[in-house]
């Protein structure tokens, strides 16, 4: 449960790290907590990762679970630098989180996120600035928490001014999101329960009974699934999912090909839905050059799937979370870029 330190900075270098520290930033989700220690130039000095997401706290929330998880992740840093500002994004600001940060409605800019920051004080007296999520109103409302920070991190590398940026950004995962940015603001977004549906289909339906998971990903089977969705998916996933079984029963799909085939099928249906949603606004998915935020392996899988839809310009946005947290912290006045950090004592050994 305790946080593990990762990154280029080893534990024995902690005194030097502490002397350069300027900000602690947290990506605090449902199942995990990732803490970053930044210097005044916005570079990450150290990272600590734990499984203490808001639904997996070390002790119940009412008994101080959030304080305990925060102390385990950041206590060593704060012992050396008790005045460091702290920014947090993600589900920590939800109704089930440490403090509720009301959603900012679309179109949402980085400045709007800053204006919506809510603060909570720890038992030890440290103040956390919590970033709000984003809400898109409508007949079928849509929400995000944490992804908004990653989106603005992905935009940091663009050459155009922030208030003129237009982009399509994909965030593959359990609940995949596709975000349309217009004028530097989150204009609208779409959520697809792709990862969760795939997990449910393989674990809790008859489709999983004949599957054998391969040692390595089967790319041809994955692409086949994507193309089945693209070519035969007009009736929807419910009409094509059973093919993962029938192709096996008829000897056309081996047991160890079925998991990747089904993965391609559900991702293909996601992209088919995205393509239709964009087309309603006269935007062609094939003409887009989306940025992808997530693990390299999953983003590469999506890049390959996008190519089947004629979208060949997709690229990975690296360090979007870190860049986004830093960007919002600067806009919120929590840290001044390139300014020397406050005087702090060495990290205790």
- Domain of 43: which CATH number? 3.30.420.300
User: Does residue 153 sit within a domain?
Assistant: no
| Judgement on whether residues 214 and 133 belong to the same structural domain of the protein | no
Q: Based on the structure, what is the number of domains in the chain?
A: 2
For residues 33 and 340, the model is more confident at 33
- Cα separation, 20 vs 206, in Å, equals 56
| Judgement on whether residues 139 and 209 belong to the same structural domain of the protein | no
| Judgement on whether residues 113 and 204 belong to the same structural domain of the protein | no
Per the CB < 8 A criterion, the answer to whether 278 and 288 are in contact is yes
- Cα separation, 206 vs 171, in Å, equals 29
| Judgement on whether residues 209 and 134 belong to the same structural domain of the protein | no
pLDDT tens by residue, 99-150: 999 999 999 999 999 999 999 999 999 999 999 999 999 999 999 999 999 9
- Cα separation, 280 vs 98, in Å, equals 39
Question: Tokens in use for 343?
Answer: 């005087």
User: Does residue 118 sit within a domain?
Assistant: yes
| pLDDT reading at 11 higher than 60 | no
| Judgement on whether residues 19 and 140 belong to the same structural domain of the protein | yes
pTM here is: 0.90
Mean pLDDT, rounded, for 24-33: 97
Q: What is the separation, in whole angstroms, between the first and last Cα of the chain?
A: 21
| Judgement on whether residues 121 and 213 belong to the same structural domain of the protein | no
| Judgement on whether residues 8 and 114 belong to the same structural domain of the protein | yes
| pLDDT reading at 346 higher than 90 | no
Length of the chain as a residue count: 349
User: Does residue 175 sit within a domain?
Assistant: no
CA distances from 181 to 17, 105, 194, 209, 290 (A): 36, 14, 22, 42, 11
Domain boundary among 90, 120, 145: 145
| Judgement on whether residues 114 and 200 belong to the same structural domain of the protein | no
For residues 183 and 341, the model is more confident at 183
| pLDDT reading at 60 higher than 80 | yes
- Alpha helices (H) in 194-319, listed in sequence order: 194-204, 219-232, 237-240, 243-249, 258-279, 296-308
Domain of 80?
4-145
């Amino acid at each position: 449960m305790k946080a593990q330190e990762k990154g280029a900075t080893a534990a024995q270098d902690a005194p030097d790290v502490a002397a350069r520290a300027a900000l602690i930033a947290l990506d605090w989700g449902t199942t995990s907590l990732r803490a970053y220690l930044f210097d005044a130039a916005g570079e990450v000095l150290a990272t600590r990762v734990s499984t203490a997401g808001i639904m997996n706290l070390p002790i119940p929330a009412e008994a101080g679970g959030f304080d305990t998880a925060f102390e385990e992740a950041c206590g060593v840093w704060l012992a050396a630098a008790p005045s460091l500002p702290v920014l947090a994004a993600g589900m920590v600001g939800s109704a089930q989180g440490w403090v509720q940060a009301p959603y900012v409605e679309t179109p949402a800019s980085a400045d709007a996120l800053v204006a919506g920051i809510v603060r909570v004080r720890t038992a030890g007296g440290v103040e956390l600035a919590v970033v709000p999520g984003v809400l898109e109103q409508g007949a079928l409302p849509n929400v995000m928490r944490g992804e908004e920070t990653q989106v603005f991190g992905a935009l940091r590398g663009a050459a155009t001014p922030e208030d003129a940026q237009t982009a399509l950004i994909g965030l593959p995962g359990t609940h995949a999101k596709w975000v349309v940015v217009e004028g530097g603001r989150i204009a609208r977004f779409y959520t697809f329960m792709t990862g969760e549906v795939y997990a449910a289909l393989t674990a809790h339906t008859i489709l999983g009974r004949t599957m054998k998971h391969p040692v390595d990903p089967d790319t041809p089977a994955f692409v086949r699934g994507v193309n089945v969705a693209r070519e035969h998916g007009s009736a929807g996933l419910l009409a094509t999912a059973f093919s993962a079984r029938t192709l096996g029963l008829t000897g056309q799909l081996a047991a160890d090909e079925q998991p990747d085939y089904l993965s391609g099928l559900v991702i293909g249906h996601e992209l088919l839905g995205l393509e239709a949603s964009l087309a309603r606004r006269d935007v062609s998915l094939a003409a887009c050059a989306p940025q992808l935020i997530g693990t390299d392996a999953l983003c590469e899988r999506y890049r390959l799937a996008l190519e089947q839809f004629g979208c060949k310009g997709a690229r990975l946005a690296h360090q979007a979370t870190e860049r986004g947290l830093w960007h919002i912290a600067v806009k919120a006045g929590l840290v001044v870029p390139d300014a020397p950090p406050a005087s702090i004592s060495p990290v205790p050994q």
